[in-house]
């Protein structure tokens, strides 16, 4: 059947919607500029009250994509999470519920060693007179919203894959069934389309890492798209998470680098007077590859969240329900796109990891 005419019609419709959207977007940018100039002048204490009156999408969006010490569920209900602080005097553990009052406004809490306050999700030590004491440096190892969400996804991955591995043991030599048949093509995809072509015959050693990276990123991406409790955290859109993943890739690639890999960095095939420049370039290259991985995943996922939140914010910027259908339509479109991006980014991260490992372990052939 030929649906091309319908497609054309839809394209036309989409174009019209985009035109409309762009009109709003420029307006949105204007309002953002306005807010940006106003915000620093706004008093710190009155901020919460002011936000009730005047909606500031920048603050809301950044709040939503950033980490938090409590997991906001709905209205004034949040899930308190453990705060773990490494202070110069020792470890301090308490519930994040202590750091806010019933209106979700920050409130000082007197712990064992110091008095703490949650200042924009940064735990600070208060002096006796109620001002922030910058001289005391504390390391914050709290189970934040992102950490908790990551734990949930890790448990989910473990439960799913260990049960599927069990069904492999039960159904030896038989065709996959149920969850097994859903996951097997993905595993085979990682093996045949990511690991094998990029790494070569040594791929088997790196399969566990590649599979873990792929499913860790993918599950966290997907959970990040869920707007309610078990999801809603922006785990893979947080620079710390992507930094750790990129760091692991950096370590694995360089530990497995063979003599040809190092020779390519320190003895490249160039005139001798170019060597010092090449060393700099190549050493930067060693770090820039994982750095690109880090930024790519972070930026893609964060951008997706920002777009979805911006579209939702339109309703509150215009303070009218009339805009809601447009917002919902675009959010739906973006969510579907984000489903694709969730998979795509997991795939790209894994594929580039395999590629970097491949360049590190490949045999010399010139």
Partner 1 sequence: MELVTPSIGLVFWTLVSFLILLVILKKLAWKPMLGAIHERERSIEDALNKAELAKQEMARLSNENEALLKQAKAERDAILKEAKEIKDQIVNEAKTQAQTEGAKLIEKAKLEINNQKIAALDEVKNQVASLSLEIAEKIMRQQFNDKQKQEQLVGELLKDVKLS
Instruction: List residues binding partner 1 (CB under 8 A).
Output: 62, 65-67, 84, 120, 139-144, 146-147, 150-151, 154, 157-158, 161-162, 164-165, 168-169, 172-173, 184, 187-188, 191, 204, 207-209, 211-212, 216, 238-241, 243-245, 247-248, 298, 302
Residues in a beta bridge with 93: 84
Quick one: 275 or 303, whose CB is closer to partner 1? 303
Q: Which is nearer to partner 1, 8 or 89 (CB)?
A: 89
Minimum CB separation from partner 1 for residue 302, in Å?
A: 7
For residues 325 and 118, give the distance between their C-alpha atoms in angstroms, rounded to a whole number: 37
Q: How far is the CB of 360 from partner 1 (least distance, A)?
A: 19
Beta carbon of residue 145, minimum distance to partner 1 (angstroms, whole number): 10
The CB-of-226 to partner 1 minimum distance in angstroms stands at 19
Closest approach of Cβ 294 to partner 1, in Å? 9
Q: Are 109 and 99 spatial neighbours (Cβ–Cβ below 8 Å)?
A: yes
Both structure tokens of 170: 């039960």
CA atoms within 13 A on the CB side of 215: 23
Least distance to partner 1, CB of residue 83, Å: 10
Using the minimum distance from each CB to partner 1, give the nearer residue, 208 or 271: 208
Environment class of residue 248 by beta-carbon count within 10 Å: exposed (0-12), middle (13-18) or buried (19+)?
middle
The closest alpha carbon to 100, from 127, 85, 82, 118, belongs to: 118
In the bound state with partner 1, the residue whose beta carbon lies nearer, of 140 and 282, is: 140
Sign of the Cα pseudo-torsion (166, 172, 178, 184, in order): positive
CB-nearer residue toward partner 1: 39 or 204:
204
Identify the helix (H) or strand (E) that includes residue 355. Answer: helix 324-361
What Cα–Cα distance (Å) separates residue 169 from each residue in 19, 44, 180, 182, 211?
Answer: 55, 60, 11, 17, 19
Element (H, E) at 115: strand 115-119
For partner 1, which is the closer residue by CB, 142 or 350? 142
Q: To the nearest whole angstrom, how small is the minimum distance from the Cβ of residue 307 to partner 1?
A: 15
Taking the least distance from each CB to partner 1, the nearer of 308 and 315 is 308
Helices of type H across 128-258 = 145-170, 179-189, 196-199, 207-225, 239-255
């Amino acid at each position: 059947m030929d649906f091309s005419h319908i497609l054309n019609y839809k394209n036309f419709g989409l174009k019209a919607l985009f035109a409309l959207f762009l009109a709003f977007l420029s307006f949105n940018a204007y309002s953002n500029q306005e807010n940006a100039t106003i915000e620093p002048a706004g008093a710190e204490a009155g901020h919460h009250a002011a936000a009730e009156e005047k909606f500031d999408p920048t603050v809301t969006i950044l709040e939503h994509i950033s980490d938090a010490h409590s997991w906001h569920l709905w209205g004034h209900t949040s899930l308190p999470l453990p705060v773990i602080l490494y202070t110069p005097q020792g470890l301090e553990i308490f519930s994040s519920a202590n750091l806010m009052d019933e209106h979700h406004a920050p409130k000082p809490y007197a712990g064992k060693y110091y008095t703490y306050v949650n200042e924009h999700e940064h735990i600070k030590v208060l002096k006796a007179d109620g001002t922030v004491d910058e001289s005391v440096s504390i390391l914050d190892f709290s189970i934040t919203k992102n950490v908790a969400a990551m734990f949930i996804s890790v448990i989910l991955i473990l439960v799913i894959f260990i049960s599927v591995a069990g069904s492999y043991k039960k159904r030896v030599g038989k065709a996959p069934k149920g969850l097994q048949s859903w996951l097997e093509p993905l595993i085979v995809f990682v093996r045949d389309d990511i690991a094998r072509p990029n790494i070569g015959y040594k791929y088997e050693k790196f399969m566990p890492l590649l599979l873990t990276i792929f499913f860790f990123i993918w599950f966290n991406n997907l959970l990040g798209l869920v707007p309610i409790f078990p999801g809603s955290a922006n785990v893979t859109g947080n620079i710390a998470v992507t930094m750790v993943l990129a760091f692991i890739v950096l370590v694995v690639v360089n530990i497995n680098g063979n003599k040809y890999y190092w020779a390519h960095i320190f003895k490249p095939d160039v005139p001798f007077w170019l060597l010092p420049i090449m060393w700099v370039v190549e050493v930067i290259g060693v770090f820039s590859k994982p750095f690109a991985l880090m930024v790519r995943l972070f930026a893609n996922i964060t951008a997706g969240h920002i777009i979805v939140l911006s579209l939702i914010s339109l309703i509150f910027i215009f303070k009218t329900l009339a805009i809601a259908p447009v917002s919902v339509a675009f959010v739906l479109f973006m969510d579907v796109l984000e489903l694709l991006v969730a998979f795509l980014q997991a795939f790209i991260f894994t594929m580039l990891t395999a590629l970097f490992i491949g360049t590190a372990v490949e045999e010399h052939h010139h």
